[in-house]
Structure 1
Amino acid sequence: MMTPDAIVIGAGPNGLVAANYLAQAGWSVLVLEAQARPGGAVWTEESSLPGFHHDVGAAFFPFGPTSPALRPLDLEGAGLVWRHAPLDSAHPAKDGTCAAIGRDLEASKQNLGEDGPAWEKLARWHAGTRDQLLDALLSTLPALGPMARFGPANLLRLAAVAASSGRGFAERTFRTEAARRIVPALALHTDVGPDDPFGAIVGFMLAMLASSGGFAIPEGGAASITRALLKRLGDLGGVVRTGTRVARIVVREGRAAAVVTEQGEEIAADRAIIADTSAPALYLRLLDPGVVPTPVAESMRNFKHGFGTFKMDWALSGPVPWSCEDATRAAVVHTGDDLDDLARFTAEVRRGALPRDPYLVIGQQTLADPTRAPAGKHTLWAYSRVPSVAPGGWEKVKQSFADRIEARIESLAPGFKERILARVIVTPKDLEAMNENLIGGDLGGGSAQIQHQLFFRPMFPYYRYRTPIRALYLGSSYTHPGAGVHGACGRNAAEAALRDEG
């Protein structure tokens, strides 16, 4: 390949989306990936037993079929098939109650009982505004045009949610404890607890997406998303080189001009370099300290990461025997007995303790995609939020904490342990080794708390994908709008580069 117009550092989903948008615009693109395979945390492996296909990171995709950054790429035309379970999100508790929501409005209403009308009001509002809302939330800030199309009344309604804690919104909106735990439990996909100020919006958005696009599951595993992005890029002439770690970015006369690999190869870029890396890695490792403004470097040294993640995968002889019937039909199951249980869990993680009865996000992919396991068998995927560093070290405590996770599932699904054929434990340290953007097992590209969002992601004033270095852009989940396989961070960075080049 001759000198490319653009180099993209990192072949995660945002890097591949950025590369696709640049290639669609006619640019020649080279993607350099440090690992031996592309995809980052969007990949699938037979990690437990032969024939059982487990997603190594992201596993269900509320933005997948609906994101305005992904839809123009027509990944379905490149072979991607989305599957759905009958329900999208179930929330069983030890008292026997089980709230459940999904794309089927009538089923959700029936499940929520006296809170059905309140849910219907929210879901119908979202159904009528979803595309405008996603365009506004996923566009480059300040997104004045998309915000105007969303409309002032809808903005005010959304702002009222954003001004609430998860607990405040839940108690104001719903009557039953079962319904009240839905939004705060969904917020704990990140590091936002039920009592955090301005914390309701994260869980609210996931709940609304469950009601429309649903928690979609790619047939064959998350790697199918990566393969579709690679096919699209290959068709456009883009090149991906794996096993090629970028050691530093060369800056000449204030402009990003080239990269140097760990093997010592210098590769020039004629127009732009886009980094699908962590913000601290870009500013503190890839760039010479002399070209990084002191306030930027200081901000990166104090960067606020989200919770760590402890993940498990199981090969099962049959489906999970949930006591709650709705949980047997849900793509994702969330454990959390009530708001106080979720608050207790959050406090334990924040003080550096391993949760004694961990909150869990549990993925049941084989309910919708039986190709992932041998006939009659099932996979199970789950994670809990944890401190990045465990007391005594992860090697010492990982087996006992895995037992705690299994005990919590067993309390809601008696007989679960009897169906385990094999289990795989993935600690925060393991996640970072797999994908160095997941620092300390942080899945979100930094904290999702409000003070680290919008104009402060990753820092002010560099929130619009540009950096202090000309022709250098940051396009990872460390930029707005953050985590979620929506591709918006990569698309927006690519569009910034294209605008700057006219």
Structure 2
Amino acid sequence: VAGGRATGVRLASGDFHVASKAVIAGVAPKALPGKLLPDGSGDAGFDAAMKKFRYAPGTMMIHLALDDLPDWSAGAELRQFAYVHLSPSLDAMSRTYQQATAGILPDEPVLVIGQPTAVDPSRAPAGKHVLWVQVRMLPAEVLGDAAGRIEPGPWDAIKDAYAERVLEIIESYAPGLRQKILGRAVFSPLDLERENPNLVGGDQICGSHHLAQNFLFRPARGYAGWNTPVSNFYLTGAATWPGAGTGAASGFMLAEQLGGR
């Protein structure tokens, strides 16, 4: 930044890339103060808002290699779906969220199960299948366990034990699943952040979507147009309006906005 204007990006290697028109960062707000903007933005209010940006609970990912798709007790037709959601009720979902935000491992997390090979058999060897499980929602830092079975500790030490709980839950909906498992890989919220720093605490939606952090308040009041206090420096991605799960809409709309300049 020179004279309040973004001039380019310096990489960790020291290489510098000049910005001919603008710098567009598809990052979580956490990456701005002290990192992408090591001297701050020049606006203390904006910098404080980026530091206080509220992230959502984390996610665990479990990937399974299977001999066959699960035999869902609710009906064989579920074997044809790309996604199966598991949670007994809206009340259970609410309880899970409350537990996670309090730093507690949920006793019955919400599970989103992907069955890619149900719709695309080419994703596995002939006759075999893959399954992925999104375990929603989990604390970034574990302070306790609602089921009282797992001692609090770092995710690296407890992720496999929690994965066993998840498999127990799936087994209750699809008996015999464990006998079909050929292999598994477990990624805790911490693992996800290691792979992608934008997944802060394993938050896959890049920030809470509560009203206080949505619409004209996303990522902060006065900056819903992907602008920042630094001229020609823009923030895009799920942390900005219109949020997560919108098909890269923020980048598309910003590109249209910049195209007129």
Partner of 1:166: none
Partner of 2:156: 395
2:63 equivalent to 1:313: yes
For these two proteins, the number of residue pairs brought into alignment is 250
Counterpart among 111, 118, 121 of residue 360 in structure 1 = 111
DSSP 3-state at the match of 2:104 = coil
Contact 1:318 1:419 (C-alpha < 8 Å) held by counterparts: yes
DSSP 3-state at the match of 2:82 = strand
DSSP 3-state at the match of 2:256 = helix
2:89 equivalent to 1:343: no
Counterpart among 457, 461, 465 of residue 218 in structure 2 = 457
- Using the TM superposition, give the Cα deviation of residue 471 of structure 1 relative to its aligned residue in structure 2, in angstroms: 1.0
Q: What is the CA–CA distance in structure 2 between the aligned matches of 1:291 and 1:312, rounded to whole Å?
A: 39
- Using the TM superposition, give the Cα deviation of residue 336 of structure 1 relative to its aligned residue in structure 2, in angstroms: 1.1
- 1:140-151 to structure 2, matched below 5 A, reads none
2:196 equivalent to 1:439: no
AA paired with 2:113? I
- 1:203-214 to structure 2, matched below 5 A, reads none
- Using the TM superposition, give the Cα deviation of residue 373 of structure 1 relative to its aligned residue in structure 2, in angstroms: 0.4
Identity %: 38
DSSP 3-state at the match of 2:110 = coil
2:47 equivalent to 1:297: yes
Counterpart among 471, 483, 488 of residue 249 in structure 2 = 488
Which blocks of at least 5 consecutive residues in structure 1 are unaligned? 1-250
Q: Which has the higher helix share?
A: 1
AA paired with 1:279? P
Counterpart among 176, 182, 205 of residue 421 in structure 1 = 182
Q: What is the CA–CA distance in structure 2 between the aligned matches of 1:466 and 1:290, rounded to whole Å?
A: 15
- 1:76-95 to structure 2, matched below 5 A, reads none
Contact 2:93 2:109 (C-alpha < 8 Å) held by counterparts: no
DSSP 3-state at the match of 1:466 = coil
Contact 1:471 1:497 (C-alpha < 8 Å) held by counterparts: no
RMSD of Structure 2 on Structure 1 (CA): 1.4
Contact 1:475 1:490 (C-alpha < 8 Å) held by counterparts: yes
Q: What is the CA–CA distance in structure 2 between the aligned matches of 1:466 and 1:361, rounded to whole Å?
A: 34
Q: What is the CA–CA distance in structure 2 between the aligned matches of 1:304 and 1:293, rounded to whole Å?
A: 19
Which blocks of at least 5 consecutive residues in structure 2 are unaligned? 143-151
- 1:11-50 to structure 2, matched below 5 A, reads none
DSSP 3-state at the match of 1:309 = strand
DSSP 3-state at the match of 1:432 = helix
DSSP 3-state at the match of 1:397 = helix
Q: TM-score scaled to structure 2, two decimals?
A: 0.92
Contact 1:350 1:387 (C-alpha < 8 Å) held by counterparts: yes
Partner of 1:383: 134
- Using the TM superposition, give the Cα deviation of residue 342 of structure 1 relative to its aligned residue in structure 2, in angstroms: 1.9
AA paired with 1:355? P
Contact 2:40 2:47 (C-alpha < 8 Å) held by counterparts: no
- Using the TM superposition, give the Cα deviation of residue 340 of structure 1 relative to its aligned residue in structure 2, in angstroms: 2.3
Partner of 1:148: none
2:38 equivalent to 1:281: no
AA paired with 1:293? D
- Using the TM superposition, give the Cα deviation of residue 434 of structure 1 relative to its aligned residue in structure 2, in angstroms: 1.0
Q: What is the CA–CA distance in structure 2 between the aligned matches of 1:435 and 1:312, rounded to whole Å?
A: 17
Partner of 1:473: 234
Runs of 4+ in 1 over 3 A off after TM superposition: none
- Using the TM superposition, give the Cα deviation of residue 356 of structure 1 relative to its aligned residue in structure 2, in angstroms: 1.4
AA paired with 2:140? S
2:16 equivalent to 1:266: yes
AA paired with 2:141? V
Q: What is the CA–CA distance in structure 2 between the aligned matches of 1:369 and 1:375, rounded to whole Å?
A: 11
Q: In structure 2, do the counterparts of structure 1 residues 291 and 414 end up closer, same or farther at CA, with 3 Å as the change threshold? A: closer
Q: What is the CA–CA distance in structure 2 between the aligned matches of 1:468 and 1:497, rounded to whole Å?
A: 16
Q: Deviations over 1:189-214 (max 9, x none)?
A: xxxxxxxxxxxxxxxxxxxxxxxxxx
DSSP 3-state at the match of 1:289 = coil
Q: Deviations over 1:360-381 (max 9, x none)?
A: 0111111001110011111001
Q: Deviations over 1:422-457 (max 9, x none)?
A: 010001111111111111101111012222111011
Q: What is the CA–CA distance in structure 2 between the aligned matches of 1:330 and 1:318, rounded to whole Å?
A: 14
